């Protein structure tokens, strides 16, 4: 059980960084195999995925002070800032979705306080794993048969 949870945490952490990784398949596989109780799986995957997002946030935080490292034209950076100022912290609720890494990077670049970032992203990412667990267990259904 320990190795299963450690592997899940590693997959969840890496999936939240710019590295190409998917943790959902690992999560579902472990759940279907009964490798660990589902509640610790949800909590540990959510925690590890949030920690990986914090790394991406930190990358954005550092890159913003060195704008040339972002290698974005000034107008694209300005457009991103306008978009982020409009949707800002609310956009962190979809940080689990494709392009979520970009949202986390922008949160760091535009100086979202770390405690707010962790609170919102932690909720969103843990809720995603809870929904995934419910779908896998058949507790939640989209109504497709």
Q: Which residue has the higher pLDDT, 137 or 80?
A: 137
**Using 50, 70 and 90 to split pLDDT, how confident is the model at 143?**
low
Let me know: does 77 contact 30? Beta carbons within 8 Å. no
SS (H, E, C) 31-81: HHHCCCCHHHHHHHHHHHHHHHHHHHHHHHHHHHHCHHHHCCCHHHHHHHH
Shortest CA distance to 78 belongs to which of 106, 102, 59, 101? 106
Q: What is the pLDDT of residues 54-72, one digit of tens each?
A: 999 999 888 755 455 556 6
Per-residue pLDDT at 90: 85
Q: What is the pLDDT of residues 85-139, one digit of tens each?
A: 777 788 899 888 888 888 898 899 888 999 999 999 999 999 999 999 999 988 7
In whole angstroms, what is the distance from residue 75 CA to residue 97 CA?
A: 26
Q: Would the pLDDT of 74 be above 90?
A: no
Burial 117-128 (b: 16+ CB within 10 A, else e): bbebbbebbbeb
Other residues' Cβ atoms within 10 Å of the Cβ of residue 77 = 16
Shortest CA distance to 101 belongs to which of 14, 21, 16, 10? 16
Per-residue pLDDT at 82: 81
């Amino acid at each position: 059980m320990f190795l299963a949870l450690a592997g899940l945490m590693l997959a969840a952490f890496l999936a939240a960084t710019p590295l190409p990784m998917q943790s959902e398949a690992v999560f579902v596989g472990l759940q279907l195999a009964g490798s660990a109780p589902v509640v610790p799986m949800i909590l540990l995957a959510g925690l590890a995925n949030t920690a990986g997002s914090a790394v991406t946030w930190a990358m954005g935080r550092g890159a913003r002070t060195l704008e040339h490292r972002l290698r974005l034209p000034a107008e694209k950076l300005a457009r991103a800032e306008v978009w982020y100022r409009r949707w800002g912290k609310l956009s962190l609720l979809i940080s689990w979705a494709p392009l979520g890494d970009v949202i986390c990077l922008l949160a760091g670049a535009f100086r979202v306080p770390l405690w707010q970032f962790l609170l919102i992203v932690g909720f969103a990412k843990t809720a995603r794993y809870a929904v995934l667990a419910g779908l896998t267990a058949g507790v939640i259904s989209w109504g497709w048969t």
